[in-house]
Amino acid sequence: MNKQTGFLLIRAFILLLALLLLLVGYYWVHKPVDLALLARVGGAFLDVVTICVLFAAAHVIGRAAINRSALKRHPSDMSGYETAAITMLLGLTVISIFTLVMGLIGLLITPAIWVGLAAILVIYGRPKRRGAINERLTDVFSRFAITPSWRGILTFLSLIVLVPAALYAFAPPYAWDSLTYHLVAPMRYLAQGAITAQPDNFFLGFPQGIEILYTLAIGLFGRVSAAASLHFAFGVLGVLITMGVGRRVSNLTGGYRAAAILLSAFSLVKLFGWAYVDLAVLAYSAAVLSVILSWRRTHQRGWLVVAGILLAGAVAAKYIAGGWAIAIFVLVVVRSPRRDLIRNGAALVIPALIAFSPFALKGALLYQNPIYPYVFDGLNWDAARMAQFNGAGAGLIGMGSAWQLPMMPLAATILGDQYTPGYAFTSGAWLLTTPLLLIVIGRALKRRGRVFAADGIVLAVVVLIFWAMLSAFNGIAAQTRMMAMAFPLAAALGGLALTTIDDLPRKPIYVGFIVRALFVITFALHSFDVIRDVVQDQVVPYTLGMISEDDYLSGKLGAHYPALRQLASLPEGSHVRLMFEPRSLYCPASVTCHPDVMFDYWRRPLRLGATPDQVFEAYRADGDDYWLVWMDTDPTVAASGFDFDRADPAHTAADDLFPVALQTHMIAVWTDGLFYTLYTWR
């Protein structure tokens, strides 16, 4: 090195050091990235790591199961991403069952389970040949590349609605069912280190296949938002599989359209940001549909075994997915040759029963009912509570809407709204109605499209009959999201219909272009709705660290959140009964909360023959220290749990006795002045 070169290096070093000091000094004062933002980004990163590790381990487990079956010798026409998603769902079912068994024997040690999953991933997760992972990623990105085409436009619009949903998933949970049971179960199980009976919350007696996975996800880093992130990932799997099905029955454009039809439903996009279970049902149902397509093409009975296991996963996620199991069974019976009928039926049903048996065992051991809370009653359950839960008399017939039963998809599309009772779901203009276009253009379908449409009609008829029969007398069943199991079928049929329209003659009217334009315009309007919702909910300010978690939750939950945080000031170990309030997730860990999940802590003892005085005496004897009552102090407001329950004419007489008896036996120690009041004994 000569002197000139050395001199240049010294000057370069001085220049870089000076520039570094300048930047450090500038950002030391200005701080564009504060600790709050770093915490939010870091937390989201931990959630992503949790889901990636869980799904990678699930893929290894599912792939091993497929490779050890006869199906390896009979490849399907599934796409790579479709196959990967289905193997992940198989693996997640196995992981859920294993975690359930560990919890039932009192060994719910999530760090140990995660170590086991990591070991599986390290030992068995290596690709068989160098570059396999890179090739698969390249294939995926090439399929989803944003190009100046209809597919590119649909991809771009889909990302617009999915990114805000991801922000919701990373934020603190606020959705009603999450606060009532979907997240209450994991928090209780983690605190106890076991899966145990919970007599004060009957929802925890359900199979809970997905809540068990939530327990595992939350247990890794202690982040409750990991559950919603996992639900988001289930939704992505469902969209990918639906896209794969759409491609197989029409073409790649049809697959894009099927995925876009799913994402065109406002309420479905909202579910991507919530820790519910409906997107898991959607993903499992899409996987079953894909597997049944492979069975129809190859006639290999092994695909029915896979379908049975996936159906068990769907039913373990939500009982109502049993309607999809019935539809699939009917299709298998209808499409099986007579000589193979019994063997095909057994190949579907027996694996399903075996895979579901651990969840039935949970119900039998902990709640004295393998399908709790249905049919056989069980722990802290009776026919009266069952009737109330099902909304007896509140179905479409009871509401005077029986005329909607023959046309529920149309009625749910036009009348359904996310924020109103009844269907309680904004499905968009396309999800439930686009398959009806096949009635008009069915004769233009190509062969594989006709075969799928014929199978789809069988499945759709069974599901619609199932939905109508339940909705006629059951108020809950009428909610459109209860039919999430049928959304992939509807989207795939819709994608087939829209693609078939492209093949119609362009003269005298270019119908295909008009339909595509209308779809894109309505999807753009839908995207605007999603973005507006995100802005109103202040999700972006929370994500950027501009508002605190308390401010965010107070804005979403109103008086509920600060009222429950107030309980942290009570003596440690206090027992608090939440009267007319079913949401307990944000109860402080220092106290024990007993949520009123059926709004019957007051009415049920009266129905069983107790007097108002005896009700209070019994709860005092049970160890209650405080009652947090959700009841308006202003009778003109009528926006509390007490008002909701009292509005039912069957409950009014009993609820009218409550305020006077409450003042007789208890005294207020805190109130927010309008909605919540904390009482203790006189």
Contact 225, 274 (CB under 8 A): no
Beta bridge partners of 288: none
Output phi, psi for 378, to 5 deg: 140, -160
Structure tokens given for 486: 């049928």
Q: What's the chain's length in residues?
A: 682
Which letter does DSSP use for residue 419 in this model? Answer: T
CB contact set of 655 (below 8 Å; sequence gap of 6+): 602, 603, 642, 645, 646
Between CA 170 and CA 43 the distance in angstroms is: 8
pLDDT at residue number 124 = 81
Between CA 615 and CA 600 the distance in angstroms is: 12
Contact 90, 131 (CB under 8 A): no
Cβ burial of 462 (10 Å; 0-12, 13-18, 19+) is buried
Structure tokens given for 425: 């779901």
One-letter amino acid for residue 538 of the chain? Q
Q: Is the dihedral of CA 135, 138, 140, 142 positive or negative?
A: negative
Q: How far, rounded to the nearest angstrom, does the alpha carbon of residue 646 sit from its chain's CA centroid? A: 30
Between CA 257 and CA 437 the distance in angstroms is: 14
Q: Report which of 285, 327, 325, 247 is spatially closest to residue 77, judged by C-alpha positions.
A: 247
pLDDT at residue number 146 = 47
Contact 242, 248 (CB under 8 A): no
172-193 burial, b at 16+ Cβ within 10 Å, e below that, comes to bbbbebbbbbbbbbbbbbbeee
CB contact set of 159 (below 8 Å; sequence gap of 6+): none
Residue ranges of the chain whose pLDDT lies below 70: 1-4, 6-7, 31-33, 68-76, 126-150, 391-393, 635
Contact 441, 502 (CB under 8 A): no
pLDDT at residue number 650 = 87
pLDDT at residue number 6 = 67
Alpha-carbon Rg for the chain, nearest whole angstrom, is 27
Residue whose entry in the numeric block shows the structure tokens 């919603």:
228
Which letter does DSSP use for residue 416 in this model? Answer: -
One-letter amino acid for residue 606 of the chain? L
DSSP H helices in 537-632: 539-543, 549-557, 560-566, 603-607, 612-621
pLDDT at residue number 141 = 46
pTM for this one? 0.92
| N-terminal to C-terminal alpha carbon distance within the chain | 91
Q: Report which of 554, 549, 537, 535 is spatially closest to residue 36, judged by C-alpha positions.
A: 549
Beta bridge partners of 577: 594, 627
pLDDT at residue number 334 = 95
Between CA 213 and CA 202 the distance in angstroms is: 19
Between CA 317 and CA 304 the distance in angstroms is: 20
> What are the angstrom distances between the C-alpha of 336 and each of 75, 451, 453, 559?
20, 14, 17, 58
Q: DSSP labels for 176-245? A: HHIIIIITHHHHHHHHHTS----TT-GGGGS--HHHHHHHHHHHHH--THHHHHHHHHHHHHHHHHHHHH
631: left (phi over 0), alpha (psi -120 to 50) or beta: beta
Q: Report which of 133, 3, 8 is spatially closest to residue 59, judged by C-alpha positions.
A: 133
* Angle between helix 408-415 and helix 447-473 axes, rounded to 10 deg: 70
Q: Report which of 483, 485, 493, 480 is spatially closest to residue 439, judged by C-alpha positions.
A: 493
pLDDT at residue number 390 = 78
Between CA 137 and CA 151 the distance in angstroms is: 19
Q: Report which of 58, 93, 43 is spatially closest to residue 220, judged by C-alpha positions.
A: 43
Between CA 672 and CA 670 the distance in angstroms is: 7
